[in-house]
Amino acid sequence: MATALRVFFVLALMSVWVSTRANPQGPLQSDYYLWTCPRAEAIIAAGVQRAVAQEARMAGSLLRLHFHDCFVNGCDGSVLLDDTPTFEGEKTAAPNNNSIRGFEVIDAIKEELESACPGKVSCADILAVVARDSVVLTGGPSWEVLLGRRDSLTASKADANNSIPPPTSDISTLIQSFKNLGLTQKDLVTLSGAHTIGKARCASFSGRIMGIEPDGTIQTEYLTSLQQLCSQGFVINNDTLASLDLETPETFDNQYYANLRSGEGLLKTDQLLYSNGTETTRDLVQFYIKGQQEFFVQFKKSMVKMGNIKPLTGTNGEIRSNCRSINSHTSA
């Protein structure tokens, strides 16, 4: 009888614990899916590995999705929603249109997760884990991703246009955009280091390489190479791609910062951190040039901090069954 009571008591406690984990009211937790979907992170990692093996560029694209999600009303998976009759989503906002990609990879991962653990793993959490795994696969640091986000019920093209700083921003705009989200100048410089992998379309930097007076902060030979890459006579090939890091484009390292010192930052918002930034941003660039490990340590901290921007938890939002659309019945 005593043994039976002990077993009942343990099972009751486990039931309460699992219920609490499924509906957290407090901070996000690294072991959120321990009981509800123990293979969640393994399934996500396998999906990222397949995608990056097929196309190395995808690592940078998946990392960028998490950034662009968190910068618009928090890390809630809203960037993944397609337009509906009731709202215009974020995919066609100016900073995202013809730019963010990787949605099919998220779809495939979500399909696997729904098969293994129906209705348990949010799209917002998938984005957070995918970002970490993309960094690791390209040689960067790993960190514990805090989990338990739920998915938004809407998205806003207008908010995306207002919240994501364009690549033509000046330093004060960049600093203010990050400050609005509780991120510091250190976070700005550190998270910009994500541009050590990935590519950008000529359309995002053509304004600084063309015309009578190109951007004077660009190193001369690099400027010439970009002009040749992006133009055909007097016509700009907007869709042509250039590596964000010309030296080690598929490796997550600190080379990005060395590029800035030599005038080889691709985007205006990259180069100005060193050439037209504040004393703080310039000093941090110099610091990370000398210490890759210091960059890695702070990058992990800044990613966790960014991932905690206004997550939906508890009964807010839902767990979408398809990341592109809200559920028919929002009682997840």
Give the residue numbers marked as catalytic. Answer: 68
Which residues, including other chains, have CB under 8 Å from residue 123's CB and lie 6 or more apart?
A: 77, 80, 106, 110, 151, 320, 323
CB 96 within 8 A of CB 157: no
Query: What does the alpha-carbon distance between residue 200 and residue 198 come to, in Å, rounded to a whole number?
Result: 7
Judged by DSSP in three states, 228 sits in helix
Q: Helix, strand, or coil here: 63?
A: helix
Chain centre distance of CA 13: 37
Residue 237, beta-bridge partner list = none
Q: How far is CA 2 from CA 7, 11, 177, in A?
A: 9, 14, 61
Q: Which position has the token pair 């998915």?
A: 151
CB 293 within 8 A of CB 299: no
SS3 state at 322: strand
How many other CB atoms are found less than 10 A from the CB of residue 295?
Answer: 25
